Structure formats: C-alpha cells, structure tokens
C-alpha cells in the first residue's frame, strides 16, 4: 500500500481537487479547513470541513448550541487512491482535532439525489441519526443549482445595501431583478445525516438518537 500523508493545504490546492475529483465541481465558501491528501508524496485530493451550518443542525442530536463546537464535512474530493477513504478521513479528523481541541462533533450528509447512502460513514462507524438537511432550499441560478445558504453568503450584503438605498421587496425579488431574471427556487431533498462525536460525553448524547444504517434510498 502507498504511503499516506495528510497536510494542511491552501485554497488553490483544495479548489483544484474539488474541480477535478468531486461530482459537484463546486468549491464551498465560508470558513474552511482544507486538508490535502498525498500518496507516495503525490497530491491526490482534499478533505474539506466547514463551519457554515446552523447550530440547529446538531442541537437536537448532540445538544450543541454553537457552531464553534462542530464542523461539517463538506467535501471529500479524491483521485484514484490506494488507501481506504475511512483511513483518510480518520487521519484528517486527527489533524482537525489537534488544531481545534474544543470541537465536539462532525456532521455530514449523504446526498440522496446522487444515490449516496453514506457507505464511507458507515464503514467509519459514524452514527446515523436519520434524514436531515443543512436547512433551506436551493436556487436554480445561471443554469445550476446553488444552496440557499451559499446564495445568502454571496448576495445578502448587496441585498441589504440595496434595501438601505430604498429597494422594496424580498431577497428573491432582488435576485430576480439584479442577479438572474430566470432564477427559481428548488425544494431541497432530505439527506442521510451522519455524526462523528469527538468526545465520550457527546457520543453518549448522540447514541440516544442512533438509527440503523440505511441500506437503500
């Protein structure tokens, strides 16, 4: 088996991995932790964690009230690799926890629209807690689907400035007028929700919400 090494990488390297090796071909925005994956010193991908999710995502299952207490695994973008994904994720979690010792949990979602069950999470002993989502719907804008959270991060400051200057209407009205006249809202499909607790106390809380792993969509 090839020698595995993980290390922190810059935005450009992470973006390269996402555009080459992740089905979405979209780089997340916001505050990100970007961990590069190397086999025999060759760069073969990136694991990306983000802090954008609302605390409500883990309030019920893990009793966490601040997004400083958890991160979301938002991308696993890998070229062909020798080491199993479970091992790659395990090493990345160790690096993440070392840099952020106060983290209590990681959450991730398997996209049902892409036919994903979350097998890498099941193999890594993540705890499945049922169907869930990061909240909100998506927009179909410029010919592609973009989550409501991302749209807000990109355009909300401009919308708020327009309102201060006298614009009267909703955020959606503003998007139609100033961004894309053909924009439309898409209802977000629920996703399989997995949690990886990072301490024993959080694990005991999450286990109270554990469900059997999904076998089919």
* Cα–Cα distance, 191 to 168 (Å, whole number): 35
pLDDT band at 136 (very low <50, low <70, confident <90, very high): low
Q: Are 6 and 49 in contact (CB under 8 A)?
A: no
The listed CATH number (3.40.640.10, 3.40.390.10, 3.40.50.720, 3.40.630.30) that belongs to domain 4-133+190-207: 3.40.630.30
Region 57-84 average pLDDT: 89
Q: What is the per-residue pLDDT for 100?
A: 93
Maximum CA pair distance of the chain?
A: 63
Q: What is the pLDDT of residues 165-182, one digit of tens each?
A: 999 889 989 999 999 999
Report helix, strand or coil for 34: strand
Q: What is the pLDDT of residues 185-217, one digit of tens each?
A: 887 777 899 999 999 999 999 999 999 999 876
pTM of the predicted protein model:
0.79
Between residues 141 and 7, which one has the greater pLDDT? 7
Q: Where are the domains of the chain?
A: 4-133+190-207, 138-186
Between residues 55 and 138, which one has the greater pLDDT? 138
pLDDT at residue 53 greater than cutoff 60: yes
For residue 21 the two structure tokens come to 């090796």
């Amino acid at each position: 088996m090839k020698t595995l090494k993980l290390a922190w990488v810059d935005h450009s390297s992470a973006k390269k991995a996402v555009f080459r090796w992740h089905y979405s071909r979209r780089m997340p925005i916001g505050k990100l932790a970007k961990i590069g994956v190397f086999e025999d010193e060759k760069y073969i991908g990136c694991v990306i964690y983000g802090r954008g999710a609302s605390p409500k995502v883990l309030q019920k299952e893990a009793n966490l009230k601040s997004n400083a207490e958890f991160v979301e695994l938002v991308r696993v973008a890998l070229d062909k690799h020798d080491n199993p994904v479970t091992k790659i994720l395990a090493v990345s979690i160790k690096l993440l926890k070392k840099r952020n010792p106060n983290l209590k949990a990681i959450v991730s979602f398997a996209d049902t629209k892409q036919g994903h069950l979350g097998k890498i999470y099941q193999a890594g002993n993540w705890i499945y807690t049922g169907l869930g989502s990061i909240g909100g719907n998506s927009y179909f804008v410029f010919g592609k689907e973009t989550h409501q959270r991302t749209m807000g991060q990109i355009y909300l400051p401009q919308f708020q400035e327009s309102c201060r200057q006298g614009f009267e209407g909703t955020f959606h009205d503003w998007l139609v007028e100033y961004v894309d006249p053909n924009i439309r809202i898409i209802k977000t499909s629920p996703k399989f929700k997995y949690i990886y607790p990072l301490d024993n106390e959080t694990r005991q809380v999450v286990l109270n919400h554990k469900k059997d792993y999904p076998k089919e969509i």
